[in-house]
Structures are given as structure tokens and as C-alpha cells.
Amino acid sequence: MSEGDISRALRRIGHEILERNKGSDGLVLLGIPSRGVPLARRLAACIEDVEGTQIPVGELDITLHRDDLRRHPVRTAHRSRIPAAGIDDQVVVLVDDVLYSGRTIRAALDALSELGRPRAVRLAVLVDRGHRELPIRADHVGKNLPTSRDERVHVRVAELDGIDVVRISGGEGR
């Protein structure tokens, strides 16, 4: 996906979120670090363009809730930044770059339940690459990318990587 593809996909997702929610009332966007965070900010900006209202955006760090902690060297936990108004009775849209096994989202749901009780939780992802290991699906998908497990999906965003691009590689490299 090129820069243009990504921005078109985000704009469409922004519209979908508004349509589904019947406006921007009670919406909170939470990005999952690292690349879900800039994507959430951009989505909020898209929604602002359309509706003219500001949407609260936050970050949800899920490190402490991962189920694979014991399989890897320790990862540094970062701070979650939750909008001051909280998430109780709001419609929370989780934003991430790639949806794969679904385990990250499972961890995010656990982390959310400790922060409050949203009215609803939805999931927006830039890429859905399949291979789910848990009964989880995305409400809003930028692009479905059928992949094999050997392949890797790289999402790069301008805010962190200086470039907007999504590409698939054959399994080697990062």
C-alpha cells in the first residue's frame, strides 16, 4: 500500500466509524503502540474534518497483559495515555496497524476492562492479514491482505518511520 492508499483507507474507515456510531458522540479512539498510535491520531483528524468536532485520542499500552511474555526477552512497558474524561460509557475504537493472531487485541480488551466499562468496543485496523488464533474480528479494515504465515507484513508510518508504506516480505529481515 502506498501513502495514497493508506490515507484513502483511513478516510474511509473514519467515515465508517461515524456511520456506525451515527455521529461522533461518545467516541474515543485508543491507539495500540507503537504504530496504532499515529494511525489513531490520523483517524481522529479525518473524523474532525468531516464532523468538525474533536475526538478524544489516547494510547493503550498492553505489554503487561500479553500472554507471550514468557516466550520473549522482557519488553519495556510504556505508559497508557487515556483521555481525561475516561472511557466509561463511551464507544471505544481500538486502532492498530496489523490484525494477525488476535492476541494483541485480547490483551487490549483485558487492559481496557481494568480502566473502565465502555458502552461498546470496536476495532479498526489498517491491515487484516488473517491467521486468527482467537475469536476476534475487526469492525473496520483498511485492506485485507491474504498472506502466508512465513511472510511478514511491514507497516511504516511517517510519524515514526519517516515514510507511509505497507509491504509484504518473504520472511527474512525485520
Partner 1 sequence: MTRHLISSADLSRVEVEDILETAASMHDLQRREVKKVPTLRGRTIINFFFEDSTRTRSSFEIAGKWMSADTINLSAKGSSTSKGESLRDTAMTVDAMAVDALVIRHNASGACHQVAQWVRCSVINAGDGTHEHPTQALLDAYTLRTRLGDLDGKHVVIVGDLTHSRVFRSNVITLKTLGARVTVVAPPTLMPSGIAAWSAADGFATSWHLDPVLDGDGEHGPVDAVMMLRVQRERMSGGYFPTAREYTVGYGLTRDRLDRLVARNDDVLVLHPGPMNRGLEIAPEAADAPQSVVLDQVSAGVAVRMAVLYHLLAGDDTPAPPLAAATTDGAAR
Binding positions for partner 1, rule: CB under 8 A: 61, 63-65, 69-74, 76-80, 110, 114-115
Q: Cis check for the bond before 101: say yes or no (omega within 30 of 0).
A: no
Q: Which is nearer to partner 1, 68 or 159 (CB)?
A: 68
According to DSSP, the residues that pair with 144 across neighbouring strands are 128
Q: In what order do the strands lie in the sheet with 140-144?
A: 57-59, 27-31, 91-99, 120-128, 140-144
Contacts of residue 82, defined as CB under 8 A and 6 or more positions apart, other chains included, come to: 30, 58, 60, 115
Q: How far is CA 48 from CA 15, 17, 42, 57, 66, in A?
A: 11, 12, 10, 12, 32
Q: Which is nearer to partner 1, 24 or 80 (CB)?
A: 80
Q: Which is nearer to partner 1, 73 or 162 (CB)?
A: 73
* Smallest separation (angstroms) from partner 1 to the CB of 4: 36
* Smallest separation (angstroms) from partner 1 to the CB of 25: 25
* Smallest separation (angstroms) from partner 1 to the CB of 62: 10
Closest Cα partner for 137 from 107, 172, 99?
99
User: What's the sign of the alpha-carbon dihedral 146, 148, 149, 152?
Assistant: negative
* Smallest separation (angstroms) from partner 1 to the CB of 63: 8
Q: Which is nearer to partner 1, 77 or 158 (CB)?
A: 77
Q: Which is nearer to partner 1, 8 or 117 (CB)?
A: 117
* DSSP code for 23: S
